[in-house]
Amino acid sequence: MPCLHYLCSPLLNQQIQGIMQNYELMVIFTPVLSEDEFKSVQKKYVDFIAAGGGKLVHSNPWGLKSLAYPIQKKTTGIYWVMEYVAPSDMNEKLKIQLLRDEQVLRHIVIKLDKYAVEYNKKKKSGVSTGTEKLVEG
């Protein structure tokens, strides 16, 4: 069958496969994880997103931080922020995996608009974003 131009456009292919969107995931892991276990669990979720048709854009492990309030009787947690691109239907599967994981205390997935994506790019490259604190010397 011949390919009609309007049927074979890249936009239509994206709609068929699920439109790729930009997301940011923040996870708070239990503070009892060792450094190796923390790296292993990060790799597990990056691989999960890749298997679902997504792609890692940026990973930022924040490390051990105090929690604003106790969660499961813990006052600290290991924070990890990841920016990724994936089809929108993959997030529900990711949410199920995060809820099943006993090492995860809390998580949140945020859909990034074009302004947030641009802001993150500037921040990663070191360009002034206009939100930095002024340092008086």
How do residues 13-34 score in pLDDT, each as one tens digit? 444 445 889 999 999 999 999 9
Confirm whether 33 is domain-assigned: yes
Confirm whether 102 is domain-assigned: yes
Confirm whether 100 is domain-assigned: yes
How do residues 32-75 score in pLDDT, each as one tens digit? 999 999 999 999 999 999 999 999 999 999 999 999 999 999 99
Confirm whether 32 is domain-assigned: yes
Confirm whether 109 is domain-assigned: yes
Confirm whether 137 is domain-assigned: no
Confirm whether 130 is domain-assigned: no
Q: Which residues contact 125 (CB under 8 A, 6 or more apart)?
A: none
Q: Which pLDDT does position 23 carry in this prediction?
A: 94
Percentage of the chain modeled with pLDDT above 70: 79
Number of domain units in the chain: 1
Check whether 104 has a pLDDT greater than 50: yes
Q: Which pLDDT does position 11 carry in this prediction?
A: 47
Full domain range(s) for residue 89: 26-125
Please report, for the domain that includes residue 59, its CATH number: 3.30.70.60
Confirm whether 15 is domain-assigned: no
Instruction: Among 52-66, 91-105, 114-128, name the one with the lowest average pLDDT.
Output: 114-128
